[in-house]
Structure 1
Amino acid sequence: MAQVPVMAFTGERYTPERDREIAQEHWHRYAFARPLAAGRRVLDAACGEGYGSAMIAAAGGQVLGLDIGEDVVAHARARYGGTPGLAFAQADVTALDHLPDASFDLVLSFETLEHVEAQERMLDGFARLLAPGGLLLVSTPDRHVYTDLTGVQNPHHVRELYRPEFEALLAGRFPARRLFGQKLLFQSVLWSLDGATSPAQAFSLDGQAIHDGVANAPMYFLAACARDAAALAALPALSVFGDQAEGVYEAYRREVVNFRNAMAYIAHLEAELKRRQAPE
């Protein structure tokens, strides 16, 4: 079988060949959804390249991945089409009237909301498609942290939301909700090596004071939405996703080394300049 060419990264859709921060952010969302997939009918709305749909299907879900780009869907079919329980189709996720009511047990919509203007229509569609006991996982950036504080505008985002706006959109459609924050953080992690499954702990340092919980401002929100609160019961309070290659940390270490080498070289040049300028 011929190898499928890698899909070009334009910044609009994540591709699994990208590494470091963006990789951990995107893979973590699907890893979070993965334990919920077995035996469920899953809609991956705006599936993009298809890697996440394939992950969810491999976990036992019957997955339909939808994307508006015909070329993107063609790529996903070519690359992941042999995965059991996985299908791809071209569709606008703000116009899903062709799909029957209550036809999915799990709907995933990661980093899609901010790319569309018709957000209300998209969420109405998801609510209609959820079967009784079904669950929607939807993520989006926090406009305050992602854009206001950084001063960087993402050209592919047409309608970013502040937290109250995001929660208001969901509240009118889903009576039961849990809101999670997501951000790539430097953390010291202690984990059991003996198989123990005790409850997790989290602490945050503020100056010299230690507080319970994670107190950082989220870069992204991930909301779990349902009609019945029982559908949310299996969700964890904390989800940690690690990269065994430590790509982000390794890049940070390289930059520190480069900076130190540059500073040492500047100091050497300054000393040499002083030596040459000194009177004989």
Structure 2
Amino acid sequence: MEFTGERYIPSEDGVIKYEHLHRYAIAKDFCKDRTVLDIASGEGYGSAMLSNIAESVFGVDIDPESIAHAQKEYAHKENLKFLLGSCDKIPLDDNSVEVVVSFETIEHHDKHEEMLAEISRVLTNDGILILSSPNKLTYSDEPNYQNPYHVKELYYEELRALIDKHFNYISTYGQKMGVSSFITSLESAADSSDLLASFTSQSKELIRKKISIPSPLYFLVICSNSHFEPLKSSLYRDEDDLYMRTRAQIMSLSDTCREISITARNLNAELKRAQTQSNESQLKLQDTQSKLQDTQSKLQDTQSKLQDTQSKLQDTQSKLQDTQKQLERNFFFIVKMTNKKLLKKIRRIFR
């Protein structure tokens, strides 16, 4: 199946994995040798986990694709059956299951009363419901976030009022990711019966204090019409420690950030040098442009004088041509007159 954000699938890692698997780990203690309904079973991984300890498990989901996937993926589980159905129309008989788990389901629709009525119908008289729901205050209001797949989220008071209508015995819990330091036995690491002691610091004093989570991100409700043993505070730790892996990633990113910071400083220094050179070049360019403008002005003045000179030259040439023509006329006139006198003298001689 492809992860869309609406349903958790086992291929996803990180916080969402811790949150979902911790809930199913809690549910296992109530499911041993019992008939279980996992409402909104999604990919089917949780139903399959519960089937390892339960007598039988029914996974019900409204999405045909999810049901088809789960039926194929977990076909080898003989005590596990996946059915198409909805929260307000569960395809099971009355008083047919001893435990109902419903994790991150109620916020995906607005038929809350119908859902609780249907769960009460299929549960036996002493059956148990284990239900989780996001805390609207811390999940959506405070971070100003809206999950596109959520239809109606609930505040604590609304969730409690809804549950109170259908069950006599109710225990509520908070779930939230956090960072802690763990000290555990190395000799009995596999022994899950050890009680978890918790400590904190207040006013510079170390005190032993019951684990509590202010402003939980999710509510976990365990309810029944018969008395049941309340949960002990618990933690989920994955073999692939998210904190250490994230810490290593943060340290790597921190090293990268330092390298980027050094590079940025060097680039900033180079930029300043380049800006200084650019300013100097700009001043030189302005000076050169100023000189060029002066030269262009002088050139224009010279060109103007040249044009005047050329005009005077043309005028002088024109006058010279006129003078030459006049000289030529005078010359020919003189020659003509001189020739006439000379002819007369010759004639006198030959008489």
TM-score normalised according to structure 2 size: 0.72
Q: Hey, what does 2:251 align to over in structure 1?
A: 256
* Equivalent residue runs for 1:105-254 within 5 Å: 105-195=98-188, 197-205=193-201, 208=204, 212=209, 213-229=211-227, 232-233=228-229, 235-254=230-249
Tell me, in whole angstroms, the C-alpha distance in 2 between the residues paired with 1:108 and 1:129: 12
Q: Hey, what does 2:13 align to over in structure 1?
A: 19
**CA 1:53–1:215: 2 relative to 1, 3 Å:** closer
Tell me, in whole angstroms, the C-alpha distance in 2 between the residues paired with 1:156 and 1:207: 43
Bigger RCO (CA 8 Å, 6+ sep) = 1
The percentage of aligned residue pairs carrying the same residue is: 32
Q: Deviations over 1:175-229 (max 9, x none)?
A: 1011111111111112233437453222344674656222432110110010012
Provide the alpha-carbon RMSD of the alignment: 2.2
| Contact 2:37/2:59, CA 8 A, preserved across alignment | yes
State the one-letter code of the partner of 2:16. I
**CA 1:259–1:277: 2 relative to 1, 3 Å:** same
**CA 1:208–1:153: 2 relative to 1, 3 Å:** farther
Tell me, in whole angstroms, the C-alpha distance in 1 between the residues paired with 2:56 and 2:43: 18
**Which range is displaced more, 205-214 or 8-17?**
205-214
What is the Cα deviation at residue 76 of structure 1? 0.3
| Contact 2:174/2:213, CA 8 A, preserved across alignment | no
| Pick aligned residue for 1:73 from 54, 67, 76 | 67
What is the Cα deviation at residue 167 of structure 1? 0.7
Q: Deviations over 1:104-150 (max 9, x none)?
A: 11000000000011011101111122112211000010011111122
Greater Rg over alpha carbons, structure: 2
**Which range is displaced more, 27-36 or 7-16?**
27-36
What is the Cα deviation at residue 34 of structure 1? 1.3
Q: How many residues get paired?
A: 270
**Which range is displaced more, 12-21 or 265-274?**
265-274
What is the Cα deviation at residue 101 of structure 1? 1.7
**CA 1:272–1:87: 2 relative to 1, 3 Å:** closer
TM-score normalised according to structure 1 size: 0.89
Consecutive unaligned residues of structure 2, counting only runs of 5 or more, are 277-351
Q: Hey, what does 2:314 align to over in structure 1?
A: none
Q: Does 2:33 correspond to 1:39?
A: yes
Q: Hey, what does 2:42 align to over in structure 1?
A: 48
Consecutive unaligned residues of structure 1, counting only runs of 5 or more, are 1-6
SS in structure 1 of the partner of residue 66 of structure 2: helix
SS in structure 1 of the partner of residue 38 of structure 2: strand
State the one-letter code of the partner of 2:134. P
| Contact 2:28/2:50, CA 8 A, preserved across alignment | yes
**CA 1:172–1:210: 2 relative to 1, 3 Å:** farther
Tell me, in whole angstroms, the C-alpha distance in 1 between the residues paired with 2:262 and 2:239: 36
SS in structure 2 of the partner of residue 200 of structure 1: coil
Tell me, in whole angstroms, the C-alpha distance in 2 between the residues paired with 1:203 and 1:189: 10
**CA 1:147–1:209: 2 relative to 1, 3 Å:** farther
| Contact 1:204/1:214, CA 8 A, preserved across alignment | no
What is the Cα deviation at residue 60 of structure 1? 3.0
SS in structure 2 of the partner of residue 251 of structure 1: helix
| Contact 2:93/2:122, CA 8 A, preserved across alignment | yes
**CA 1:198–1:52: 2 relative to 1, 3 Å:** closer
